[in-house]
Structure 1
Amino acid sequence: MSTQVVAAVGAAALACALSACGSDDGASPIKQGDTSEQYGNAPLLEATVEKVHPWDKSAFTQGLETAEDGRLLVGTGLRGESRIYYTDLEGQKGSEQKLSDNFFGEGVAIHGDTVWQLTWQEHTAIKRDARTLEETGRADYETEGWGLCSQQDRLVMSDGSGTLTFRDPETFDKTGSVDVPGTDQLNELECTEDGKVWANVWQTNTILEIDPEDGKVTHVVDTSGLFPAAKRDGADVLNGIAVVPNSTPEDHRFYLTGKLWDEMYEVRFKEPQA
C-alpha cells in the first residue's frame, strides 16, 4: 500500500510496524501450544532466518515471485517510480519495464508464459510476456489491487479486505471469491504447490496460511523481530513473499522482504519445538 495511506494510521501502530516490534534473537516469539483466536485457533508456526540476501533499497516492493529458473520477479510501487524486473539472489537485475506515471504498481504473478501486474487504485491489470516483461494487454477490475499469485488454473487476488478473489489467468475475469474469517488487509500473496495461499497482513508482522477452498486460516506466523532491514532509516513495512525453490508442505521456506529494505531473508516456517 501507499505511503499516503501509511500516514493515516495511528502513530503507535505505525511505529510498531516500521520497527518490526519484537525481539532480535533470530526466531519469532512463539511458544509451544500458542494459537490465535482471531484466526479460528489456527496453530502457530515458528519462523527462523536461515540466509540473508542483498536487496535493492530503492525498491518499494509490492510483489515478489520466484520464476522457474530461480530468479525473482519484482514489482514495485509509487507513482512515477513503479516498475517490474527480474533479479537474482546476488542482486543483479535484468532489464526493467516502467509503468506510466499515473500507475501505482502492486502485486505480480507468473502464470505460464504470462505475467500479470496489478495497480493499486487504477483498476487496471497489466498483462506481460513472462520472458521480456513487455506489455501484451490490459484488463479492468472493480476493486483496489493489492496482492496476486498463481494456482494451476486460476489467479488469486487480494484487494486490501479479508476476501480473496479468483480470476481467469487468460482474461482476468472474476470467477469466484472466498471470505477469510477474522482477517482484513490481506496483502502480498504467494500460492504454493499444495494449494494453499500465504498472505502477509498489511501493517503487521503476521503471515497467514489460508485454504482458498473454504477461506480457513490453517497456520499463523509471527515474524516480529526477525528482520534488521525493517528497522533501518527509511524502511517501510514487510511486503514481499515468494516460495524458495524445492520447498515442500513439510518444509516451508520463503523469501521475505519489504518496502525500501536493503536485505531479503530466506526464512523457514516450522512447528515450534517442545
Structure 2
Amino acid sequence: MRRWTRAAVTVTVLAAATACSFTPLTNRVELGSDDFVVFVGEGVDGNTDLFVSLSSGGSVTQLTYTGSVEMLPRLSPDGGVLAFFRSRDTTAGSPRALIVMNLLSASERRLDLPDGSGIPTALGWNADGTAIYLRLSTGTWRVAAPPAPQEMIAVTASELVAADTALGTWLGAARFAEAVACPGGGVCVTGPRGDTTEIAPQGAGPLRWGADSIAWFEGDNLIVRGLGPGSARRVMWRRAPANPREASYAGR
C-alpha cells in the first residue's frame, strides 16, 4: 500500500539558510549548508526512533516519534530525502515497510513489504537518487524513488553490480575503497586491489563521512577519521539517545 502522510516531525528546508538548526521544542529542522547526520537510537520512551544532529556535534534532536521500530536510515545523495525501514517489532514475521521521508515537504511515502519478504539487512540509493535498493534476507530489490510509482522489482544477476554499489559504503572522492565489517568484528577497509586493512577493532556500523573521511560507532560514541594521516575524533553530542547506531551522513 502506498500513501503520503504528514511526518511525525515538521522538516523544512530553507534554500537561503546558511546553517542547519534543530529545535526540539517545535520539532522543527531547518537544513541549510551545514553537514548533518541521521541515526537510530532509543528515545526516553524506549522506542526505537530516528535522531538528527549537525556533523560537528552538539544537541541531538529526535526526528520521528512512533511506537514502531525504525532502522537503517539512508539519506539520498543530495540529502533532501530520507529512506528507512519501519516495523512493528524485531521479530522475523513482523510486518515491515519502506518509508521515504521528503525533507522538503515533511511528508512520508510508505511501501508495505510483502509477507515473507524477510528481514532487512541493507538499504541504499543509486548515485543520481532515482532508485532505492533494498537487501532483505530473501533477496535484493529495487524501488523507484518518489515521485515515480513505487513497486518492488527483484534485482536480476545483470543488476547485482549496481545494487552492490548502491548498498556499499564507498570511501573517497573517487570511491576507491569500501568500508566493511571485519570477519572477526571491527571495521575494515578494502582497497581497489582487494587488500583489507583493519582500522577500528572495536568499531561497528561504518559510514561514508563526506569525500575525505570515514565514521563508525564504538559503543555509544560516533568516531570520525580522515582517510589520510591524522587521528580520529569523537563527535560530541548533548542529549544523545541510548544505543545510537546505523547512521547516515549528508554533506560535502
Superposed counterparts of 1:99-178, under 5 Å: 100-101=115-116, 103-112=118-127, 113-119=130-136, 122=137, 124-131=139-146, 132=150, 134-137=152-155, 148-150=168-170, 153=175, 156=178, 158-159=180-181, 161-164=185-188, 176=194, 178=196
TM-score w.r.t. structure 2 length?
0.51
Which is bigger in relative contact order (C-alpha 8 A, separation at least 6)? 1
Partner Cα distance (1:58, 1:110) in 2: 23
Question: Helix, strand or coil for the counterpart of 1:101?
Answer: coil
Q: Percent of pairs identical after alignment?
A: 4
Residues 92-116 of structure 1, C-alpha deviation per residue, up to 9 Å, x if partnerless?
A: 3113241653522133221224433
Residues 26-48 of structure 1, C-alpha deviation per residue, up to 9 Å, x if partnerless?
A: xxxxxxxxxxxxxxxxxxx9620
- The structure with the greater share of residues assigned to strand is 2
Partner Cα distance (1:73, 1:124) in 2: 18
Change (3 A) 1:241 1:157: same
Partner Cα distance (1:162, 1:138) in 2: 31
Which ranges in structure 2 are unaligned for 5 or more consecutive residues? 1-40, 45-54, 161-166
Q: Which residue of 2 aligns with 1:208?
A: 223
* CA-based RMSD: 4.3
TM-score w.r.t. structure 1 length?
0.48
Partner Cα distance (1:177, 1:97) in 2: 39
Q: Which residue of 1 aligns with 2:247?
A: 241
Change (3 A) 1:86 1:104: same
Change (3 A) 1:137 1:102: closer
Question: Helix, strand or coil for the counterpart of 1:103?
Answer: coil
Q: Which residue of 2 aligns with 1:220?
A: 233
Superposed counterparts of 1:1-274, under 5 Å: 47-49=57-59, 52-68=62-78, 70-76=80-86, 78=90, 79=92, 80-89=94-103, 92-98=107-113, 100-101=115-116, 103-112=118-127, 113-119=130-136, 122=137, 124-131=139-146, 132=150, 134-137=152-155, 148-150=168-170, 153=175, 156=178, 158-159=180-181, 161-164=185-188, 176=194, 178-184=196-202, 186-187=204-205, 189-201=206-218, 204-211=219-226, 218-221=231-234, 226-227=239-240, 230=241, 237-244=243-250, 247-248=251-252
Question: Helix, strand or coil for the counterpart of 2:58?
Answer: strand
Partner Cα distance (2:176, 2:144) in 1: 17
Kept in 2: contact 1:60–1:76 (CA 8 A): yes
Partner Cα distance (2:86, 2:193) in 1: 27
Amino acid at match of 1:238: P
Change (3 A) 1:116 1:184: farther
